[in-house]
Structure 1
Amino acid sequence: MLKRLFRFIAKFTLWFIIMSVALVFLFKWVPVPITPLMLVRYFEADSQKVIKHEWISIDNISKHLQLAVICSEDQNFLNHHGFDYGAIKKAIDYNKKGKRIRGASTISQQTAKNVFLWPQRSWFRKGCETYFTFLIELCWSKQHIMEVYLNSIEMGEGVYGAEAAAQYWFKKKASKLLKEEGAALASILPNPRKWRAHPPTAYITSRKQWIVKQMQYFGVLSYEEKR
């Protein structure tokens, strides 16, 4: 029995590695059509079951939005290899003292979770997230990670990706988003189903203003210099 169990585990592990690597390479060239989160949200919805999602090239996504999400979500995105150990340590120290849990997921980790995994919190899922983060950092460029992230991220009730979000919140294409509009979208990412990018609440306005300041400090966004 033990031999059969070990054989099964070995075969399962081998096939998991083969399929996961194949998927990562596939999505290096092919747009991600749908994500597990989109399906979960769709079947969870009591009414208005809809998925607003349109894949576009990163060349058609405003640089303002790209920079805004970096400044909001992961300011070391261009420098780390998937994991921001400084942010992880700060989060651990904060969580020991505080009542609310603070996360330290990078854009790469969020992309791995959004594209390949389910939204439920567990140590097993976190382990899978770490594995897929390592894979995409190994196989994809930073620019492609950003492209997949901005085409897959949830940005409203049933709204996924930059193009759908730009149309939903600002009635314009993602390529036409201005600095403040990009910052407004980035400001709702922690809770996109409850917060609104336009018109913003006082809290979202303050978040947006902070992100705009961080964008000014950051300077010009260039993937080539960092990778």
Structure 2
Amino acid sequence: MFKRNKTRRRRSSRQRGPVARAFFFLVKAGVWFVVLSVGWVLLYKVVPVPITATMLMDPNGHTKDWTPLSRIDRNMVDAAIAGEDGKFCSHHGFDTGAIEKAIAHNQRVDRRGRGHIRGGSTISQQTAKNVFLWQGGGYVRKAFEAWFTVLIENIWGKRRIMEVYLNIAQTGIGTYGAEAGAQRYYRKGAAKLSSIEAARIAAVLPLPDERAVNGATGFTRRHGNTIAARIGVVRRDGLDACIYR
């Protein structure tokens, strides 16, 4: 009986047309992707992220030192919120207002041919991309980024997202994470960063290969000073309340 049923299933499979076989293959692949991606996210909810594609492809190598959020100064957390994502605690992974502003800004840059391209990604999106995906644009990567952003928002929560972000974000040439950045630039741990030190590190996050923390001048210095001033606003207005309750 078992052999007969197995033979029937094989015949049924052969009788399907190419479109049907492709459909069933895509369904199976989709199910496997969901299962594996959810499992991957669940694993990193409790296990430190060992390495990322960005680190592996960095021609300068990579220096990192995983540090729990409890041993990263609040100034660094608030500087990241002030500089990268002021609505971190209030959005669910995506800031539509920031995305719309970035699109409008980038269209003006393209028309004029000068200025810097601005991103509209939240810290959650950046974390999803940096941990699970690769750098660069494209609709396919953006779609995967959105999927992983939804997963980490719902499985990790805000505190874990910030902890992972501050451990895998590039803070300089070949340098990843707040702890490695603090050791490189200030010869001390991330637990002892002042507001201006944290702000200077946060100021280089968008372009870590091009901006210098030590001896920062021009835009980087001004941007760092602005972030340092905003740290007080973040704390006063409870913009970090999802982390420090």
TM-score range, shorter chain: over 0.9
Task: Say if 2:81 and 2:234, in contact at 8 Å, map to a contact too.
Answer: no
Pair 200,97 (structure 1): closer, same or farther in 2 beyond 3 Å: closer
CA distance in 2, matches of 1:224, 1:101: 30
CA distance in 1, matches of 2:243, 2:184: 31
Superimposed CA distance per residue, residues 74-99 of structure 1 (whole angstroms, 9 cap, x where no aligned partner): 00001000001111122222233332
2:53 is the alignment partner of 1:53: no
Equivalent residue runs for 1:28-43 within 5 Å = 28-41=45-58
Question: CA offset at residue 136 of structure 1?
Answer: 0.5
Question: CA offset at residue 163 of structure 1?
Answer: 0.9
Equivalent residue runs for 1:183-194 within 5 Å = 183-194=199-210
Which residue of 2 is the match for residue 223 of structure 1?
Answer: 242
2:181 to 144, 165, 169: 165
Pair 95,10 (structure 1): closer, same or farther in 2 beyond 3 Å: same
Question: CA offset at residue 225 of structure 1?
Answer: 7.1
Instruction: Out of 98-107 and 172-181, give the one that drifted further.
Output: 98-107
Query: Identity, % of aligned pairs?
Result: 42
CA distance in 1, matches of 2:43, 2:233: 36
CA distance in 2, matches of 1:182, 1:107: 16
Equivalent residue runs for 1:122-137 within 5 Å = 122-137=138-153
User: TM-score normalized by structure 2?
Assistant: 0.86
2:22 is the alignment partner of 1:5: yes
Which residue of 1 is the match for residue 168 of structure 2?
Answer: 152
Give the match's secondary structure for 1:120.
coil
CA distance in 2, matches of 1:184, 1:224: 21
**CA RMSD in angstroms, aligned pairs only:** 1.5
Which residue of 1 is the match for residue 32 of structure 2?
Answer: 15
Between Structure 1 and Structure 2, how many residues are aligned?
Answer: 220
Superimposed CA distance per residue, residues 160-203 of structure 1 (whole angstroms, 9 cap, x where no aligned partner): 11111111111110101111000000000111011111121232
1:138 to 154, 159, 169: 154
2:231 is the alignment partner of 1:180: no
Q: Which runs of 5+ in 1 are unaligned?
A: none
Runs of 4+ in 1 over 4 A off after TM superposition: none
Pair 155,225 (structure 1): closer, same or farther in 2 beyond 3 Å: closer
Which residue of 2 is the match for residue 211 of structure 1?
Answer: 227
CA distance in 2, matches of 1:98, 1:51: 32
CA distance in 1, matches of 2:130, 2:242: 22
